[in-house]
Structures are given as C-alpha cells and as structure tokens.
Amino acid sequence: MSFQSVWFILIVVLWVGYFVLEGFDFGVGMLLPFVSRNEADRRAVLTTLGPVWDGNEVWLLVAGGATFAAFPEWYATLFSGFYLPLFLILVALIVRGVAFE
C-alpha cells in the first residue's frame, strides 16, 4: 500500500466521520420546530448539541487540513472551481452556529 493510498483512506475516514457526526446536528436543527413547543423544550433540545457541537467542527477542520496537506492539487482545484458554493456553505455554517447560540 502506497503512502498516497494511506492518506486517501485517512482523508475518506475524516470526511465520513464529519458528515456522519454532523448529521446529528442537522437532524436536531430540522426537528427543532416540530419537537419544541415552548422555550424550555427548545433549550432542552439544543442542550443535546452542547457536548458534541465543537467536536464536530474539529472534524471539518482536520479533514480540510489533511486534504490540503496530502493532496494540495485537489485542494487548489476544489477551491478554485467551487469558490462561490464553498463560500456560501461557510457562511451558512457560521449563521447556523450563531442561530443555535
């Protein structure tokens, strides 16, 4: 197994880990209007995100950093070709974090 294959597998594991764990946050956000009848219920639902919120964002940072470190050509191609969609995703992640706080 080559060094590139090891890095590729590591990056796949990091991105899959981020998307699986972030799915919990997205699910809580989507269910919030339906399961919270008052402010106390809303706070109770949002406190389930507390212990895992920052940990999930670390997965994103590590996956992006590993992609940049191992395959800079991929990173450059991805960010030059999809600059606007990735910028909008970044803004959406920031706004979502502010909305939960």
Helix orientation angle between 83-100 and 72-81, rounded to the nearest 10 degrees: 90
User: Which tokens is 6 given?
Assistant: 């090891």
| Per-residue pLDDT, 12 | 95
- 12-23 pLDDT, tens digit each: 999 999 999 888
Q: DSSP assignment, residue 71? A: -
Radius of gyration of the chain (CA): 17
pTM of the model: 0.79
Strands (DSSP E) contained in 1-101 are none
The parent domain of residue 24 ranges over 3-100
State the total domains in the chain: 1
C-alpha span between 84 and 65 (Å, rounded): 20
